[in-house]
Amino acid sequence: MKRRKIKFGLVGLGRLGYEHTKNLSESIASAELVAICDMNEEALRTTAEEFDIPKTYTDFEEMCKDPEIEAVVIVSPSMFHVNQVKIAMDAGKHVFVEKPLDTSIEKCKECEEIVAAHPELTFSIGFMRRFDKSYKIAKQKIDNGDIGRIILVRSYCQDNKKFIDMAIKFGPHSGGQFLDMCIHDIDTIRWFAGGVEAREMWGIGGCYEYEEYKNWNDGDNVSALIQFEDDTMGFMFAGRAAAHGANIETEIIGTKGTLRIAAVGTDSLLEVLSENGVCRECYPDWQARWHDAYIDELADFADCIITGRKPEVTVQDGTKTLEIAYRCKESFESKKMLKMRD
Ligand code: NAI
């Protein structure tokens, strides 16, 4: 039987929007990308040509009026997310929105109401690590009780220094390292530990190489130590400029054993033997590291629409992760260890 294809529209053709556009156009059997939207007309034209996308829009609201579109993928800058969720859902579209859900907690709460007002529509958020093969196996083992009670989750996330100019350009509207990068680690820890709430946190870091980050009260490298309500400890580190390339590591230490998703620093089995010894190259960028997960999260979203199954990632996950990220940011800015709630 031929599978139904969900007709998608997408907004935001930047670094990740391009990836999602490519994946929806070429790699997801249950999706058809019929329209794209961006204010940048050149990006619109070239992307539409490259992937043979029939409709282009410079106005998101106009795109959402298109009756052919069933679902919308929002990959615009984070501060526009919830406004665009509202426009899309009020126009009757299913919505997949990128992380973070927005850059303010008020907006996230507003989003909870918007989603609740549209129970007939499918909604999810782009926490793609949950779709990565290694993370999925780790989650199964944790749920199976293989490592006992979780003591600590350690999660590192570093971008390749080669792309620092792009990262600096993106910085001012990213919401800062804690909201932009650590949000993935926070979601990972909550997911592994079964939705636990944070009790207290200490965010630290600084500008070790790129002073630009000071302009928006941020650091180029930051970390945070979090203790959760059930005593689980979380340690996360986010760096914008790793000399060796993109690297993501997660370790889960339990009472009966440890899981480590670390030895995945490369996308090939290539080893270079030279006067420097034996070298395996890191992932060039995060797009390469999460390539399959980006495809699988959107394929799963389309499947949820087709089958009526509820996506695992909820709007509440968007709010809870942002609340923790924000508190870590406040801790970093005030140089104080903070309780989650005063
Ligand atoms: P970007 O800055 O590279 O691209 C944003 C695009 O949106 C640009 O093409 C810009 O012209 C367009 N745009 C801005 N305002 C618009 C509007 N009002 N209407 C239509 N188009 C508009 O940003 P990037 O890196 O692609 O990030 C986009 C979103 O994706 C952010 O929320 C970010 O947090 C998220 N993201 C998620 C990642 C993940 O691993 N899940 C990785 C990278 C980004």
Instruction: Kindly tell me if the per-residue pLDDT of 315 is higher than 70.
Output: yes
Dist. CA 78 → ligand 1 center (Å): 7
Q: Which of helix, strand or coil describes residue 125? A: strand
Q: Which of helix, strand or coil describes residue 253? A: strand
State the pLDDT at residue 196. Answer: 87
Give the mean model confidence (pLDDT) for residues 213-222: 95
> What is the band of 265 on the pLDDT scale with cuts at 50, 70, 90?
low
State the pLDDT at residue 269. Answer: 82
Taking the whole predicted model, whether its pTM rises above 0.85 is answered as yes
Q: Which tokens sit at 181?
A: 């990068």
Instruction: Kindly tell me if the per-residue pLDDT of 173 is higher than 90.
Output: no
- Report helix angle 182-192 to 315-334, nearest 10: 120
- Which residues lie with the beta carbon below 6 Å from any ligand 1 atom? 11-17, 37-40, 43, 60, 75-78, 80, 98-99, 126, 128, 170, 180, 290
State the pLDDT at residue 1. Answer: 59
State the pLDDT at residue 45. Answer: 98
Residue of 129, 182, 156 whose CA lies nearest to 329: 182
State the pLDDT at residue 276. Answer: 86
> What is the band of 245 on the pLDDT scale with cuts at 50, 70, 90?
confident
Residue of 64, 79, 77, 194 whose CA lies nearest to 121: 64
Domains of the chain: 6-121 (3.40.50.720), 130-292+321-339 (3.30.360.10)
Give the mean model confidence (pLDDT) for residues 39-48: 98
Q: Dihedral angle at the C-alpha atoms of 239, 241, 244, 248, nearest 10 degrees?
A: 30
Q: Which tokens sit at 243?
A: 């000399």
d(C-alpha 299, C-alpha 331), whole Å:
37
